Amino acid sequence: MAVTFTSIGIIKTPFKGIDGMPIQPSGAIDVPGQLVMDAQYEDGLCDLDGFSHLILLYHFHLSKGYRLTVKPFLDTVKRGLFSTRAPRRPNPIGLSIVRLDRIAGRILHVLDVDMVNGTPLLDIKPYVPAFDVRSDVRAGWLEQCQERSTSLKSDQRFREKK
Amino acid sequence: MAVTFTSIGIIKTPFKGIDGMPIQPSGAIDVPGQLVMDAQYEDGLCDLDGFSHLILLYHFHLSKGYRLTVKPFLDTVKRGLFSTRAPRRPNPIGLSIVRLDRIAGRILHVLDVDMVNGTPLLDIKPYVPAFDVRSDVRAGWLEQCQERSTSLKSDQRFREKK
């Protein structure tokens, strides 16, 4: 079953290319970005200014193809793709939680952005602790190395092999 | 910019229709479901069994159209669409965090499912506290009523008006 989605806006960030980017918002604390919504969606932003955090869904538009096992940024051995947050996926949809600074018309000023500049935005959802925070979590192979995400930067490994 | 995604599997749940469904996983504690992956993706499930929670992205395939302001299940006044988790959205992508019980071949047995039976699955990501848990969160209009999501059930309001 195929479904076609259309971007609702563009994410502007300081990251002009994939190299040297943070690999998660936890490695991009205070990095500012803007969500520039298409004008037709501006009325849907009402009430959003009461939320401190937003869930962004976006298209990993620079990711081409995928492999079912990958060597992630945070590990030295290959892992099953769905146990990673790698951008090259069957459906390359990115998910990041950012902080909302302020809204000016159809532009949302956000912090902690970890996307490349020009990323197409697919959806904004409010981050709601009762829905989105879980305790007693086991994080598999990431358990020991998740904290390293604050310092590691992206590199070429998710480019498609020629 | 348009992008086409194809489901990677189907979500089986006890909910045969929209009416009476839980509106979030927080209202679906222990409800069992299965993610039946397409056979071609089975190798990508490796290492996932170490994770207690999964983020599911899926297509709200029964949602047709949208309005930029909606009266959510949890409130009595209209709210901007992007400040809600309503299924009728410009890009009807659902996001739920479920608990992983066990994996048997290409079938993932999960708990806390709040989707309708037959929902097309778009992506599975591991839920990782360092990436996905935030503190000091303000939840806007949902601040006072988010706990009610445990008891409220879905109704007809997100069907398209004829």
- Interval B29-54: pLDDT, tens: 899 999 999 999 999 999 999 999 99
Residue A5 to residue B91, Cβ atoms within 8 A? yes
pLDDT mean over A19-42: 90
Q: Higher model confidence: residue A106 or residue B149?
A: A106
**Predicted local confidence at residue B162, as pLDDT:** 41
Is A47's pLDDT higher than 60?
Answer: yes
Quick check: A162 pLDDT over 50? no
Question: Who among A4, A8, A137 is closest to B52 (CB)?
Answer: A137
Of B7, B89, B146, the CB nearest to A130: B146
**Helix (H, G, I), strand (E, B), or coil: what is residue A54?**
strand
Nearest by CB to B80, from A24, A46, A59: name it: A46
Q: Do A80 and B138 touch (CB under 8 A)?
A: no
Chain A residues close to B125, C-beta within 8 Å: 82, 85, 95
Residue in A25, A52, A69 closest to B136 by CB: A52
Q: What percent of chain B has pLDDT over 90?
A: 75
Rg, Å, chain B Cα set: 16
Q: Do B82 and A137 touch (CB under 8 A)?
A: no
Rounded percentage of chain A residues whose pLDDT exceeds 70: 91
Confidence band for B155, pLDDT divided at 50, 70 and 90: low
pTM of the model: 0.92
The pLDDT score that the predictor gives to residue B70 is: 95
Measure in Å the smallest separation between the Cα of B36 and chain A Cα atoms.
14
CB atoms A79 and B130 under 8 Å: no
User: What would the pLDDT profile of B70-125 be if each residue is shown by its tens digit?
Assistant: 998 777 899 999 999 999 999 999 999 999 999 999 999 999 999 999 999 999 99
φ, ψ dihedrals at A123, nearest 5°: -160, 155
- Under an 8 A CB cutoff, do A50 and B133 touch? no
**Is A142–B127 a contact, with Cβ atoms under 8 angstroms apart?**
no
Within B44-88, residue ranges assigned H as helices are none
On average, the pLDDT of chain A sits at 91
Of the two residues B149 and B8, the one the predictor is more confident about is B8
Determine the Cα–Cα distance for residues A16 and A142; give it in Å rounded to an integer.
28
Interatomic CA distance for residues A122 and A113, integer angstroms: 15
What ipTM was estimated for this complex? 0.92
pLDDT of B161 strictly over 60: no
Residue B141 pLDDT more than 70?
yes
Tens digit of each residue's pLDDT (9 = 90 or more) over A115-156: 999 999 999 999 999 999 999 999 999 987 776 766 667 765
Per-residue confidence (pLDDT) for residue B21, from 0 to 100: 84
Ordered structural domains, chain B, with CATH: 9-128 (2.40.30.70)
User: Which residue spans within chain B are E strands per DSSP?
Assistant: 2-6, 9-12, 32-37, 53-59, 69-70, 79-80, 93-104, 107-111, 119-126
Judging contacts by C-beta atoms under 8 Å, the chain A residues touching residue B69 are: 43-44, 46
Lowest mean pLDDT among A21-30, A100-109, B10-19: A21-30
Spatial distance between the Cα atoms of A81 and A69, rounded to a whole number of angstroms: 5
Distance CA A38, CA A122 (A): 11
Closest-CA distance, A126 to chain B, in angstroms, reads 5
Nearest residue, CB atoms, A93 vs list B89, B123, B139: B123
Please give the radius of gyration of chain A, using alpha carbons only, rounded to the nearest integer.
16
Residue-level pLDDT at B127: 97
Contact pairs from chain A to chain B, CB under 8 Å = 250
- In whole angstroms, what is the distance from residue A97 CA to residue A13 CA? 15
> How many other CB atoms sit within 10 Å of the CB of residue A160?
11
Chain B residues with CB under 8 Å of A145 CB are none
pLDDT band, residue A17 (cuts 50/70/90) = confident
